[in-house]
Structure 1
Amino acid sequence: MSGPSRLAPVREACRATGTAAVVNAPGRTAGDGCRSAISSFVLGPDGALLTRYDKIHLSGEENAVFAPGTTEGRFTLGGIRFALATCFDNSFPEVAARAAADGCRVYLASSFHDSAERVARYAQQARDHGLQVLLANGTGTGGSDAGCGLSGAWLPSGERVATAAEWTGAVPGDGAELVLADVRDHITLMSDPAVAAIPVKECGEPLVDVRTAAPALLVAENPHDTLGAFAPLREGVLQRLLAAQKALPDGLRLQFVEGYRPPGLQRRYFEEYADGLRAAHPGWDADRRHRAASRYVSPPEIAPHSAGGAVDLTLVTAEGEPVDMGTPIDASPEESDGACYTGAPDLPPAARAYRRVLNAALTAAGLVNYPTEWWHWSYGDRYWALTTGAGHALYGPKEPDGR
């Protein structure tokens, strides 16, 4: 049975817990005599397949049984770019070097090493390439060797920050929780050059007013915008919101807060927030201030809101009562002490659960989240293209008159 058809229990576990998983299993191939590949299947928090990586560097008897992969393992999750490598792949320094050059922040290694000395080499790999390294090392017997366990995590400095138990016999040790360092400083921000480098091929899809085009969608009142400039969205985004609403559990619905934002207003918001950072941190240079501002307000030249491709929203009860999302919508990193980040630690259990519900519905509908703001979701813009691997954005900036 092929790998994907056996992953149903893992998919369900991902959906139930809002976590992602990497599972190693044989994967069917179309060529090379239909030999299987040694594959890594990456499942997202919604249970969907994010990517599949086939081990490139085969060793020993593997060459007689399996087909080698031909492409690098890459995926983006939560705004962070990950690299994948399997066992013998990790013996080739150029694998990690290419991952770093390709903008990856985290290197996920699946291996079956038989000694603590071999596991310890991952510290140097982290230092050499400035990567966070996470190793899942096998335990027990396999062929003529025994996996020693000792799965672990290393910071880019080479410091080991988590270690699982060593396997020493027929009964594995108790293990240890593996926790990477706080990844909030490693998120790909809107200010990243990789976002601006995404080309735009405007598809011409119209902006529609959600208040009239989708009466089933609950729209929050905006007392600061009596003209309703906040209400338009690209038609494709609105259709995906309606699909997400249908996927929500009974008793919950989406509440639309803001969609389109005129470019002039976006520029004003960005400059005002950057000015506040300048006053609070006079020692920061312009580049650092620009990056920090983009955690909360997108730089005007690439803003998803100004393309009509982004929406700020929340969950409410069927009666329209708010639920605990951990912070108010539009809470800044400073106001919320970072709790505005979608994956922020130490959230109340209810808030974490509601965020998982929101994430699952919107992700399944094809939208992507900006991980510094749990309420910000988009489709068709440059950040969406970078996150999903699309070759270009579908939507470019629009002026209020539709140009």
Structure 2
Amino acid sequence: MKPYQSIPIQDCGEPLIKIPLEQFSLETPHPYQKLGASYGPKSPYYLRAQVVEALIEAQTHLQQQYPGWKIHIFDAYRPVAVQQFMVDYTFTSLLEEKGLILDALSPTEKDNLWQQVYQIWAVPSDDLTTPPPHSTGGAVDITLKDDQGQLLDMGGMIDELSERSQPNYYATQRDNPGQSYHQRRELLNEIMTKAGFLRHPGEWWHFSLGDQMWAWQSQQAIAYYGRA
């Protein structure tokens, strides 16, 4: 159990609404759908109403500094079933990457692999008191696109299982492009925090508002978004 999961939830009942995608940048089809994840009647491009408003505000902050730039939405709402799919997919990919055979692994070796997976993936819990952040509609994974329609190089990929996913990985580097990567991550964090979001401590791309992680980071007594 992660520290933020101890925060109690009193869901405010705010609805999931469609993100106005024409205002943002996105990838179609959705990255996880391309891998085979099924959202059923749900859509990955939904968030809670207040979170959508805050995301629009964040883009306004961005465009005040860099006209024509856009927030690129990688992932937003994620049902628990999709969370489970991506956890399993990441574990299988890790086995293949390392050239390992599952049945040949000891319990300790398996546990070590799962610990790597859970560095960036929340447990796909069905417990209503410990929902994965994205399953609340209060979390979004994003990066930036410039006025030429090019994604900015942030020094690491979204969902990357490496130390480069740490928000401040490049903070102490004095070389170029290391400093450029850090400055871009700081810009992303700046526009989002101005709009009320908080960044995941271990993921430069993940921001939340109203869920347990947000409440824990902001020292709120309760979270007001539970599983949607």
The alignment status of 1:321 with 2:150, answered yes or no, reads yes
The alignment status of 1:220 with 2:49, answered yes or no, reads no
1:232 alignment partner in structure 2: 46
Shift of 1:372: 2.3
The residue type equivalent to 1:380 in the other structure is G
Per-residue CA deviation, residues 20-57 of structure 1 (Å, 9 max, x unaligned), is xxxxxxxxxxxxxxxxxxxxxxxxxxxxxxxxxxxxxx
Give the paired residue count.
201
Shift of 1:199: 1.0
Shift of 1:290: 4.6
Aligned partners of 1:253, 1:354: CA distance in 2, in Å? 13
1:299 alignment partner in structure 2: 123
Please show how residues 258-277 of structure 1 align to structure 2 within 5 Å. Answer: 258-274=75-91
Shift of 1:270: 1.8
Per-residue CA deviation, residues 247-266 of structure 1 (Å, 9 max, x unaligned), is 12124321112101111110
Label 1:215 to 1:204 Cα distance change in 2 as closer, same or farther (>3 A): same
Per-residue CA deviation, residues 66-115 of structure 1 (Å, 9 max, x unaligned), is xxxxxxxxxxxxxxxxxxxxxxxxxxxxxxxxxxxxxxxxxxxxxxxxxx
Shift of 1:234: 0.9
Contact 2:79 2:135 in 1 (8 A): yes
Aligned partners of 1:390, 1:296: CA distance in 2, in Å? 23
DSSP 3-state at the match of 2:143:
strand
DSSP 3-state at the match of 1:208:
strand
What TM-score, normalized to structure 2? 0.77
**Structure with the larger RCO, 1 or 2 (CA within 8 Å, 6+ apart):** 2
2:139 to 289, 310, 319: 310
Shift of 1:274: 4.0
Aligned partners of 1:203, 1:243: CA distance in 2, in Å? 21
Label 1:307 to 1:223 Cα distance change in 2 as closer, same or farther (>3 A): closer
The residue type equivalent to 1:342 in the other structure is P
The residue type equivalent to 1:209 in the other structure is K
2:128 alignment partner in structure 1: none
Shift of 1:320: 2.2
Please show how residues 65-144 of structure 1 align to structure 2 within 5 Å. Answer: none
Per-residue CA deviation, residues 104-136 of structure 1 (Å, 9 max, x unaligned), is xxxxxxxxxxxxxxxxxxxxxxxxxxxxxxxxx
Label 1:366 to 1:287 Cα distance change in 2 as closer, same or farther (>3 A): farther
Unaligned runs of 5+ residues in structure 2 are 126-130
1:255 to 72, 94, 100: 72
The alignment status of 1:395 with 2:225, answered yes or no, reads yes
1:386 alignment partner in structure 2: 216
Contact 2:30 2:44 in 1 (8 A): no
DSSP 3-state at the match of 1:350:
helix
Aligned partners of 1:259, 1:369: CA distance in 2, in Å? 14
Higher helix share: 2
Contact 2:123 2:132 in 1 (8 A): yes
Label 1:200 to 1:209 Cα distance change in 2 as closer, same or farther (>3 A): same
Shift of 1:289: 4.8
Aligned partners of 2:115, 2:7: CA distance in 1, in Å? 18
The alignment status of 1:344 with 2:173, answered yes or no, reads no
Higher strand share: 1
The residue type equivalent to 2:137 in the other structure is G
Q: Sequence identity, in percent? A: 28
Per-residue CA deviation, residues 278-310 of structure 1 (Å, 9 max, x unaligned), is 785846367655543221211112311111111
2:187 alignment partner in structure 1: 357
Report the aligned-residue RMSD. Answer: 2.5
Contact 2:116 2:161 in 1 (8 A): no
Contact 2:120 2:161 in 1 (8 A): yes
Contact 1:210 1:232 in 2 (8 A): yes
1:374 alignment partner in structure 2: 204
The residue type equivalent to 1:200 in the other structure is I
Larger radius of gyration: 1
Contact 1:343 1:371 in 2 (8 A): no
